[in-house]
Structures are given as C-alpha cells and as structure tokens.
C-alpha cells in the first residue's frame, strides 16, 4: 500500500513534464508506444508470453489482434487533435481546448493482456496523461514485458518513463482499489467485479459491460457468407473476445441450411447425449469452468470425452438450445468456441428471443444480424437494449472497430445504463480528455429570445389553455 502514493507522485511529475508538449510531440509519443507492440519480434514475444502464462487463446491470433487493434487505433488518432485548441465555432463564439485528465488507473484483463493495455496507454498518452496499469495476476508477466518495450521507446524519444507504470507484483485487491482511489480517472475492462469496484472507488470511472452476443440469421441472409463470418469470429483467439458470438438465432426457413454451412466451416452439431456431457464439463460446478475458457474446440471435445471422427477437425461446437436463463447455461457467455443454436419461426420471434437472452446476460453490449433487409437492423436498434447492431459482419472484428465500418478501434465497449456503464460508445481518446470551453458573447444579430407563442402557441391552441 505504501507504493501507491509513490507511483502516483511519479506519474504526476511525468505528466507535468509533458503538459506543454505540442501536438507533434504527443503524436510521436503515441507512435512510440504503438511501435512497442507492433514491431514483429516484440509482438510475437508478447503473444507467446500471454498464451504461456494465461493459458488463454492462441499465439497467431494474439499476434494478429495486437497488430490490428493497434494499427487501427493509430489510424483513428492520426489527424485527431488532442492538444490546445481542438475546435472553433466562431459564429457561436465557442472555442474548445483539450486538457489532460491527469493520472489514469487502468484495470486490464487476462484475456487480452497486451492488446488492451496498449490501447489504454495510447489513448491516455494522446491526451498528455500518465497511466498506471493494474493487470490481472495471470496477465502481469505479459504487461511487464510490454512495459519494458514501451519504456525502451520512451527512452528513444526522450519521454519520461514514469508516464507508463504498473503495480508491482503480486497485485492485491487492496492495492488496486487504493490506486483507483488516488488516480484522477479509472478505466476498468474485464470482470464486472472490477467494473463495480471502479464505480465505487470515489474516482470518476469508465467501465464496460459483459458480453453475450446473440446473432440473428433470417431468411433473406446470404447463408454461406453468414456462416463463414460467424465461424471466423467465433474461433478467433479461441473466443476470448467479449464480442464473440455466443448464440445464433436462426429462422426456421434457413436453419438446416445454416447448420450445413457451419459444418463446412468446421462446426460440429452435438447430439442430445453429447450436449449433456458438455454441460457437465463446462458448468458442472455451477459456473463456467476455467478448464474450457479460451481453449480450442478439440481440447474441449477431448475433455468431454467425445470420440466421433468429426471431432478431429472440429473448429467450434454447436449446441441445440431452446431455453434461456440459469437452467440453460449455454444461453450465457461461454468464452470458448461453443455456440448455442436456436430455431424460431420468423424475425419477430428472433427479436423477442434476443431480448430474453440480453435480459439474462449481455444487456447493453451488442447484437448481430445477417439479413438482406436493412429495415430489420433499424428495428433491432429501436427495440433491443444494445449499444451496437452489427449488420452482415464478423462480430468480434466489427464491434471493436474495423477498417470496413465507422466504429472507432477499441478493446473496451461501453454498454450504457443497460449494462451499468457510464458510456455507450467504444472507449476512445476523447474519454481521456478534459475539455475547457471558452465562451464569447454572440453578435447582436445572432441573439434571439423566443416568444411565448413560438414555444407554447401550438400546444395552447391544441389543448385550449
């Protein structure tokens, strides 16, 4: 506990040292932090360390994730103003000035022990902040390696190393909470326990909600395209992403064709007996077993004792499901390449079932839709408690920003009040800024006070008041 005030003091001194840096200097700082993970040799070392020490995911996909998320974030930040005057509205006499928030405390998960921290580091540095990271115990070694690379790049450009720090190991809950209490802003990604602790720390906090993505495939969808995208998303990094599809809701008219398309993509539909055995393996102790989290389909099949020849080439497992809730654990988030499969008569039934699934788990996060009817995406956006409706895309790649959609690149998705969060958009650099507004009086010709009749006339005439 005695180390926390020292870390905070060093972070504040480092932040003050760059407070007067120009936009060009800040952008070089951001590039330096990004290069620390994108450089191929370092990227591979980080991915190998992450898989070895957390036991989650696979090396090749983590390499791809580290690179893609960082490159996408750099693209988003390339022309973004975060120093000095960032917006001017002369007609209305408003000027916006970007200011640092100060010292950021970032709580990061074991599922993405390099990609999420570097995302937070880059966003924090873009706003001329210092950042102190509190990793999960399993992810601490990967973060320590990442920070060694970041510090080497900070040394290269003459920036203070103390801009980026981490809690010393082993990290305790008490240390993490004290860090959150003394920081100026808390960003919490990972377990909902961490998110709730962040919100109760007394410090302004940004947390993200739990995922449990359902995806609807209707009768107008391109079935082969939908199956390919869902499969690619589901198996990526062994489904460590909170944005991986957990349930498919298929309209009856195409359900069998979709199962066949999944089979061509490496999906294996379990029979009733296998489903019971898998449920015992995954949820036998009343909660999701650590033995299956972020493991590949073959490993999970072996744990469950499946010996069918199809299991030799299985990329993901499919479980026929009809219910939702605690008595139906496959309806929740599984953090593994296991997909619940629902059949419904039509789109309206699919929408109603998706609402039930979200109400059980994942409210606020997102939903997927594969359809040739654009109006149906809008209908989901109006009806369901989600912050994102992902249309005809591989969900885990699209939700956190993609080169082929307009969402900002991020590994932390806000879920709004539905998910108990303070933000409903993807975490981005603007969340790491204070904005000062300089307000001038309007020119005389632009000042206009409304009359009573303008504001109340129609109402009074309609209701005769």
Which of 242, 387, 396, 415 does the annotation list as catalytic? Answer: 242
SS (H, E, C) the chain: CCHHHHHHHHHHHHHHHCCCCCHHHHHHHHHHHHHHHHCHHHHHHHHHHHHHHHCCCCHHHHHHHHHHHHHHHHHHHCCCCCCEEEEEEHHHCEEEEEEECCEEEEEECCCCCCHHHHHHHHHHHHCCCEEEEEECCCCHHHHHHHHHHHHHHHHHHCCCHHHEEECCCCCCHHHHHHHHHHCCEEEECCCHHHHHHHHCCCCCEEECCCCCEEEEECCCCCHHHHHHHHHHHHHHHHHCCCCCEEEEEEEHHHHHHHHHHHHHCCEEECCHHHHHHHHHHHHCCCCCCCCCCCCCHHHHHHHHCCCCHHHHHCCEEEEECCCCECCEHHHCCCCCCEEEEEEECCHHHHHHHHHHHHHHCCCECCEEEECCCHHHHHHHHHHCCECCEEECCCHHHHCCCCCCCCCCCCCCECCCHHHCCCCCCECCHHHHEEEEEEECCCCHHHCCCCCHHHHHHHHHHHHCC
242 is catalytic: yes
Residues noted as catalytic: 242
């Amino acid at each position: 506990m005695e180390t926390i005030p020292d870390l905070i003091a060093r972070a504040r001194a480092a932040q003050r040292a760059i407070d007067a840096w120009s936009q060009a200097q800040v952008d070089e700082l951001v590039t330096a932090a990004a290069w620390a993970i994108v450089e191929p040799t370092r990227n591979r070392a980080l991915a190998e360390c992450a898989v070895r020490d957390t036991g989650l995911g696979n090396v090749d996909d983590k390499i791809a994730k580290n690179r893609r998320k960082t490159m996408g974030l750099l693209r988003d930040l390339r022309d973004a103003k975060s120093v000095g005057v960032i917006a001017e509205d002369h007609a209305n006499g408003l000027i916006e000035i970007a200011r640092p928030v100060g010292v950021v405390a970032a709580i990061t998960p074991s599922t993405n022990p390099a990609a999420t921290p570097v995302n937070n580091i880059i966003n924090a540095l873009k706003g001329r902040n210092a950042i102190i990271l509190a990793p999960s115990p399993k992810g601490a070694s990967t973060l320590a390696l990442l920070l060694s690379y970041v510090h080497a790049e900070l040394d290269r450009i003459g920036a203070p190393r103390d801009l980026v720090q981490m809690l010393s190991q082993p990290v305790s809950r008490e240390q993490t909470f004290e860090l959150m209490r003394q920081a100026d802003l808390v960003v919490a990604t990972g377990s909902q326990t961490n998110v709730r602790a962040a919100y109760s720390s007394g410090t302004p906090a940004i947390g993200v909600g739990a995922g449990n993505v359902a995806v609807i495939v209707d009768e107008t969808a391109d079935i082969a395209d939908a199956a390919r995208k869902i499969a690619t998303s589901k198996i990526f990094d062994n489904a460590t992403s909170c944005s991986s599809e957990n349930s498919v809701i298929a309209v009856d008219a195409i359900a069998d064709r979709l199962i066949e398309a999944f089979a061509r993509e490496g999906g294996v539909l379990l029979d009733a007996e296998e489903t019971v055995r898998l449920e015992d393996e995954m949820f036998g102790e009343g909660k999701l077993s650590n033995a299956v989290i972020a493991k590949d389909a073959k490993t999970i099949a072996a744990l469950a004792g499946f010996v069918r020849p199809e299991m030799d080439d299985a990329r993901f497992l499919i479980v026929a499901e009809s219910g939702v809730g605690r008595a139906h654990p496959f309806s929740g988030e599984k953090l593994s390449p296991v997909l619940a499969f629902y059949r419904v008569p039509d789109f309206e039934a699919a929408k109603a079932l998706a609402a039930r699934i979200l109400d059980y788990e994942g409210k606020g996060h997102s939903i997927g839709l594969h359809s040739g009817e654009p109006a149906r995406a809008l209908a989901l956006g109006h009806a369901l408690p989600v912050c994102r409706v992902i249309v005809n895309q591989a969900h885990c790649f699209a939700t956190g920003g993609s080169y082929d959609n307009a969402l900002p690149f991020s590994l932390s998705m806000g879920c709004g009040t539905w998910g108990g969060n303070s933000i409903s958009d993807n975490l981005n650099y603007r969340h790491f800024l204070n904005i000062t507004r300089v307000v001038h009086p309007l020119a005389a010709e632009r000042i206009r006070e409304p009359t009573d009749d303008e504001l109340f006339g129609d109402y009074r005439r309609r209701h005769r008041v």
